[in-house]
Amino acid sequence: MEHSEQKKACWACRSSKIRCNRNTPTCLQCLRTGKGCQYGLRLSWPRESDARRSIVCRARPNTRASNCETHFVNTRFADVELHYALYHSQLYHWGNRTTALECLSHQYKTSVSHGIPRPLPWIASGNSQNESHLLSYYDEVLSVMLTSIDDPKFRSLLISMSFIDSAPSSIAVQQALYALIAIHIYGPTEAKRYKLRAITALSQSFNNPLSTKEGLQQIAARLLLSICEMLDSSESPQLWKFHAGMAKQIGIKICSSNQSYGGDVSVVLNWLFYHEALARFSGRHWNSIGFFSVEAHCMRDSLITRAVLLSSDASKIINMAGCSAEVLSIIPRISDNVRSRADTNHSQIETVEALNMLERRLTHLKQYVDQDDGSDRSSQHRHALNIAELYRLASLVYLQRAGKGYPTNKPGVLSLVNAGFEIIATLQTCPRVFPLIILGCEARSDEDRMIILELLRKTENSRRIGNFSRARRFIEASWAQDDLHTGELDYVQKFDTIMSRSEDMPSFS
């Protein structure tokens, strides 16, 4: 019989805490003792009295820009139309407050294209696989892509949520997880049946009282479905926002504003907090004329933010997000204080003071990786610190450019951008797109732009989860407007106009 060697010990040797020679199909120890030798993913269910392996809530007491005379402009016809809209808006907005979005809707009503141009969807062919294969793929491949840093706690939590019992909330997590895996392997068509089952289970779960356990499961199922819709928005572009909003509402119901949380609740709340913070960034710039809606007001609720900041050290990097809770809490607060230069209230004292306070917090922030969680991830810590520092630098650039209205050639902005590109040049992948969008839009030389595009390409090829293609289109549209415009564009107006050209609010989480 031909033998091969596995990377990990078999389950029998791991349970007995003895050395395993990792031979397949049966290792030497199991051959001697007659035990069943098993490798790979193993599902198990906790006993009723086993609180360590249940979904629990543990409350804790509150205790470079280069000068070049000649350059080529890589633009499309839609970019030129957008340039004229921005040009006429800046030319006339001081008198009648006409915005670029109004220019697009009136002056170019018949010819302007809808949204940033996107490639045709590609759907992989192939027969459907059984759920065992889907779970193995999740354990070996997909779970790492859902987080910025590999997080064994998060990986095992979704599995235990899916199979802890046969309640509708458990089935909803299970089927939503299957849907996400199916999209990743086979494409959107194969995932539809799993999404439908997950939504049906969520509807059935409304008949049961909302306990902490079921609340966490419903949040997880909604966020998984939201990610599915981000990856496939062909049928209902706004559905991801609906699922994310429902997850937020459930989080508000099961959380208290004056209590800290640990264990599984903390993991799920951090996940929800990450999606909420970046949704508020997108919501500020997408279709900003009508942004102050009931939905937008709901997004501004800060209960989840307070619960997360109260539950852990705000400087510790959240594995799901790639940065600390402090940075995540500051990004939407910057967005709330962003004003266009056309706004007569742009220099209000309260806004300036709020931005100065946020700038001080970001400037003095020291983020760190939790090394006491019992996992061996020392090789990832340097990469994690680099991603977190990119977040901090990008947030400072966004604050100075969008909040304070600084030009791109201001020394402070240039210093932050150069520091960011020094880190970007060392990365092979960047699992989160927000820092790439902010720093990428500041690239002026072809060399810097190629660095951004190459990093986006590598990351998208290796992860295939996240809106990397949409981020690339946004950055390229920003570059086109910078190249077409002879002076300094209004940063906020440029972001508003480019992002609002999409039919659906983009997600950069």
* CA–CA dist 330, 355 (Å, integer): 10
What per-residue confidence (pLDDT) applies to 469? 85
Tell whether 13 and 144 lie within a shared domain: no
pLDDT number for residue 72 = 53
**Residue pLDDT, tens place only, 482-494:** 888 888 888 988 9
pLDDT of residue 99: 52
How far from chain centre, in Å, is Cα 473?
A: 17
Q: Report pLDDT for 147.
A: 81
| pLDDT of res. 460 | 87
Which ranges constitute the DSSP H helices of 115-262?
A: 131-137, 143-146, 152-163, 168-185, 188-205, 212-231, 239-254
Same domain, residue pair 340 and 449 = yes
Q: What is the pLDDT of residues 69-94, one digit of tens each?
A: 554 556 666 777 777 777 666 554 43
User: Is residue 178 located within the same domain as residue 299?
Assistant: yes
Q: What is the distance between the alpha carbons of residues 315 and 309, in angstroms, rounded to a whole number? A: 10
Q: What is the CATH number of the domain that holds 5?
A: 4.10.240.10
| pLDDT profile of the chain (509 residues), mean per 10 | 64 87 87 85 65 55 49 65 68 46 48 40 37 83 81 86 90 94 87 92 88 92 91 73 89 83 88 89 72 42 79 87 92 83 63 91 92 58 92 96 91 95 92 93 92 92 80 92 86 89 80
Residue 119 lies in a domain: no
Q: What is the pLDDT of residues 384-427, one digit of tens each?
A: 999 999 999 999 999 999 999 899 899 999 999 999 999 999 99
Q: Is residue 93 part of a domain?
A: no
Whether residues 36 and 156 share a domain: the answer is: no
Report helix, strand or coil for 169: helix
What are residue 324's phi and psi, to 5 degrees? -80, 165
Given the structure tokens 């937020």, which residue do they identify?
Answer: 248
Q: Which pLDDT does position 118 carry in this prediction?
A: 39
Domain membership of residue 167 (yes or no) is yes
Residue 48: inside a domain, yes or no? no
Do 182 and 36 have their domain in common? no
- pLDDT score recorded for residue 188: 86
| CA-CA-CA-CA torsion sign (171, 177, 180, 184) | negative
The answer to whether position 117 is within a domain reads no
Q: Which long-range contacts (CB under 8 A, 24 or more apart) does 163-169 make?
A: 163/43, 163/45, 164/45, 164/46, 164/54, 164/55, 167/205, 167/208, 167/214, 168/201, 168/202, 168/204, 168/205, 168/207, 168/208, 169/201, 169/202, 169/205, 169/208, 169/213, 169/214, 169/217, 169/218, 169/221
Same domain, 34 and 141: no
The number of angstroms, rounded, from the C-alpha of 502 to the middle of its chain's C-alpha atoms is 18
CB within 8 Å of 145: residues ≥ 6 apart: 431, 463, 464, 465
b/e code 427-457 from CB counts within 10 Å (16+ = b):
beebbbbbbbbbbbbbbbeeebbebbeebbe
Residues in a beta bridge with 4: 24
* 239 within some domain: yes
One domain for residues 156 and 24: no
Residues 23 and 164 in one domain: no
Domain match, 147 and 35 both: no
Return the pLDDT at 8. 80
* 390 found inside a domain: yes
Whether 16 maps to a domain, the answer reads yes
Q: Which amino acid is at 157?
A: L
According to the model, what pLDDT value does residue 360 have? 95
Computed on alpha carbons and rounded to an integer, the radius of gyration of the chain in Å comes to 24
Buried b (16+ CB within 10 A) or exposed e, 238-261: ebbbebbbbbbebbeebbeeebbb
Q: Which domain holds residue 35?
A: 1-40
Q: How many domains does the chain have?
A: 2
Length of the chain in residues, anyone?
A: 509
Residue 320 burial by Cβ neighbours in a 10 Å radius (0-12, 13-18, 19+): buried
